[in-house]
Amino acid sequence: MKTAAEKMPGATYHSCDAKSEASLTALFETIGHVDHVAMTVHESAARLGIDTTADKMNLDAVMEYANGKFFSQYRVVKAALPHLAADGSITLTSGVASRAS
């Protein structure tokens, strides 16, 4: 994000704990008005041992993965919306591009 921000005049980048609604609320209150939000929140399926078939996955690990990926994105969107410009955008990314082919 830092590299991208350096190539776009006026752009800034910020990071915080996307698993914490309070942290996100504080971040957007500090930033104030935003035009665009791009997020690269990530949780490692391999680290959690769920990069396998469903019958081999531990439900607690699946829940942790969902909290780290899906619900973190939900929390970012929820925290950003009150500060987002009427013509602004929010970009969500997946982690599939980071996998070796």
> What is the pLDDT, as a whole number, of residue 84?
98
Is 36 a residue whose pLDDT tops 70?
yes
Domain ranges of the chain: 35-94
3-state SS string for the chain: CHHHHHCCCCCCCCCCCCCCHHHHHHHHHHHCCEEEEEECCCCCHHHHCCCCCHHHCCHHHHHHHHHHCHHHHHHHHHHHHHHEEEEEEEEECCCHHHCCC
pLDDT confidence of residue 96: 57
pLDDT at 40: 82
Residue with tokens 């990071």: 15
Q: What is the pLDDT of residue 99?
A: 52
CA distance 61 to 54: 11
Band of pLDDT at residue 33, cut at 50, 70 and 90: very high
**What pLDDT digit, counting tens, does each position of 49-95 carry?**
888 899 999 999 999 989 888 899 999 999 999 999 999 999 988 76
d(CA 21, CA 13): 18
What amino acid occupies position 71?
A: F
Closest CA to 78 of 33, 18, 30: 18
Compute the half-sphere exposure of residue 65: CA atoms within 13 Å on the CB side of its CA: 16
Average pLDDT, the chain: 87
